[in-house]
Structure 1
Amino acid sequence: MWFWLIFFIWTLVPVWRQYWINLQRIRAIRQMERRRKSRVITLIHRQETISFLGIPLRNYISIEDSEQILRAIRLTPESMPLDLILHTPGGLVLASEQIAYALSHHAAKVTVSVPHYAMSGGTMIALSADEIVIDENAVLGPVDPPLGQYPVASLVEVVAQKPIDQVKDKTLILVDMARKALNQVEVFLTELLKNKMNADNAKELAHALSSGLWTHDYPITVEKLKGFGLPVQVGLPREVYSLMELYPQPSQRWPSVQYIPTRTTVAEILMDDQ
């Protein structure tokens, strides 16, 4: 009997822990909304412990994410600003475009905060904002769409380097789809960027981000973003970082990074050693 009681408690601990963290998140979001007088939405993808078995799952931008964010936007008055906290490796192009489209059409100011990174589809979402508030060391990334396991730009390059009679029909089909995907993303990005710069610059930047000029994991730093002429503000409020801490990594492993999370001086460290 004691065995089953201990087992039952052990299985419930992750559930209660997740419930408590969720309450803390809601409290933190509510405090941000009161201070900023805005609707705060989070799109944070981390490897987080979920379910009573504590199974870690990798997250990415999905259709479910777009459904939830679009619902949040619908529930927000047109006169109320939106604040999106964004931390993601990317995800489905369709879902990313839906979110970006909805944000770009919100009447009040839309601010996207990037504490660490927003790659691929996350970059597309960030570009839809009226203002991108970003940590000085955070990065965005290229928006070239993949096709299965292949970068679409590399597929197009295949037929450019080989005689057509040496390319398989399946590859030609993939290349045709790749060209369409590149064009679709570039057109979409161009429309997003037209509100932030003149048409020629918007088209040029959209092409650079979507054409495969860089590898898909290439980090676009704050300096590069400013050079593109994007509305970027460097420096996030502490409350954004505090909110990120409520999205922890799995606890069933030793941490790969450890430190004492307090501000201190060299003199204080030397005093502790005495």
Structure 2
Amino acid sequence: MTILDFFWIFLMLSALQPVLRRQMLESSRQRLLAKVEHMRGSRVIALIHRQETMSFLGFPVFRYININDSEEVIRAIHMTGPDVPVDIVLHTPGGLVLAALQIARALRRHPAKVTVFVPHYAMSGGTLIALAADEIVMCEHAVLGPVDPQLGEYPAASVLKIVKEKPVERIDDRTLILADTAEKAIRQVQAAVKEILAGRYPDDTCEELAKVLTEGRWTHDYPITYEEAKRLGLPVSAEMPNEVLKLMQLYPQPVHQARTVEYLPFPRHRGPVAPREEG
């Protein structure tokens, strides 16, 4: 073989490496999902969104809950027997209200127990899905978020506040249209939250929770911690299985530049200190 032959072999192996790596990751995820399903006797669904970066221009691409996600999750729920619990692993910044609400309603109507695992964060639409669960398992530092509607770049609650505090003759037509849409959006999301919570809480509790989470009390990215979720009365637990955390490691963040967080990837515990030798 000539040097040119070795060069072409090197190019082919370099081109195949990402494909092989992706297939190995997918196989590892499937094996771990099967292990968790066997261990818990449930259907396990992973809904995980990572921020990706385009390799050519380097622009960040944000993944979020969309219609395709809702179709896939609902299909998995339909393939699950009524006596089989559903476990869903959530890691998402949110997304379309329609898609999140479809998933939440499908989970709410599943007869068996539904458990949502939040290892890191499930904001906005992710929280809407979590509200449909019988149990929300969160890590110590995991967070949920408000489900207040957003109209493009503007919070619906803030648009309504402008209309209330500013004389109507000084408000342009576009803002008035936004305010009308904002009022409808908040009312619709509040009704959806109450629908999802109904039957597990008293009516007044459902009303209060829906109001707190949708009225714009906080900014849209406000972190609702485990402690605060518990104070709100949500069915949270801190018993996060190690297998769920291992599953998150099999959804690595695409990296096209130097890592910003780095550590030795093995457990480290402080053991007994060995005595120092003299001399």
Coarse TM-score class (shorter-chain normalised): over 0.9
Counterpart of 1:219? 223
Letter in 1 for 2:74: L
Whether 1:142 and 2:146 are equivalent positions in the alignment is yes
Distance in 2 between residues matched to 1:12 and 1:93, nearest whole Å: 39
Q: Return 186-195 or 29-38, whichever deviates more.
A: 186-195
The 3-state SS of whatever aligns with 2:22 is helix
Q: Is residue 134 of structure 2 the alignment partner of residue 126 of structure 1?
A: no
- Residue identity (%): 52
Partner of 1:233: 237
Distance 1:270 1:146, change over 3 A: farther
Counterpart in the other structure of 1:108: 112
Is structure 2 residue 203 aligned with structure 1 residue 199? yes
Aligned 8 A contact 1:115 1:240 in 2: yes
1:252-263 matches, cutoff 5 A: 252-263=256-267
Aligned mates of 1:139, 1:262 — CA distance in 2: 25
Displacement of 1:265 in angstroms is 3.6
| Distance apart, 1:136 and its partner CA | 1.5
Alpha-carbon distance in structure 2 between the residues aligned to 1:79 and 1:198 = 26
CA–CA distance in structure 1, aligned partners of residues 53 and 13 of structure 2: 17
Q: Aligned AA for 2:204?
A: D
Counterparts of 1:60-209 in structure 2, within 5 Å, are: 60-209=64-213
Spell out, residue by residue over 1:87-118, the C-alpha distance to the aligned partner (whole angstroms, 9 max, x if none).
10000000000000000000000000000110
- The whole-number CA distance in structure 2 between the counterparts of 1:112 and 1:34 is 17
Following superposition, the deviation at residue 196 of structure 1 comes to 2.5
Distance 1:57 1:25 in 2: 23
SS in 1 for 2:90: strand
CA drift at 1:229? 1.4
Please point out which of 5, 15, 20 is paired with 2:24: 20
* 2:225 maps to amino acid: T
Report SS of the residue matched to 2:115. Answer: strand
Q: Is the 8 A contact 1:48 1:248 kept in 2?
A: no
In 2, distance between residues paired with 1:269 and 1:62? 53
Q: Helix, strand or coil for the counterpart of 2:27?
A: helix
Q: Structure 2 CA distance, aligned partners of 1:64 and 1:7?
A: 35
What's the CA shift for 1:56?
6.9
> Deviation of residue 69 (structure 1)?
0.3
Q: Which structure has the bigger radius of gyration?
A: 2
State the 1:197 CA deviation: 1.3
RMSD: 2.3
Q: 1:51-88: per-residue Cα shift (whole Å, max 9, x none)?
A: 9xx99742100100000000000111111100000110
What is the alpha-carbon distance in structure 1 between the residues aligned to residue 273 and residue 164 of structure 2?
Answer: 61
**1:251 matches 2:244:** no
The answer on whether the counterparts of 1:144 and 1:212 sit within 8 Å (CA) in structure 2 is yes
Give the counterpart letter for 2:30 in structure 1: I
Provide the C-alpha distance between the structure 1 equivalents of 2:274 and 2:18, rounded to a whole number of angstroms: 39
1: CA distance, partners of 2:255 / 2:165: 49
TM-score (norm 1): 0.92
Number of residue equivalences: 270
Partners of 1:149 and 1:270 in 2: CA distance: 59
Q: Which is further off, 259-268 or 199-208?
A: 259-268
CA distance in 2, matches of 1:179, 1:239: 43
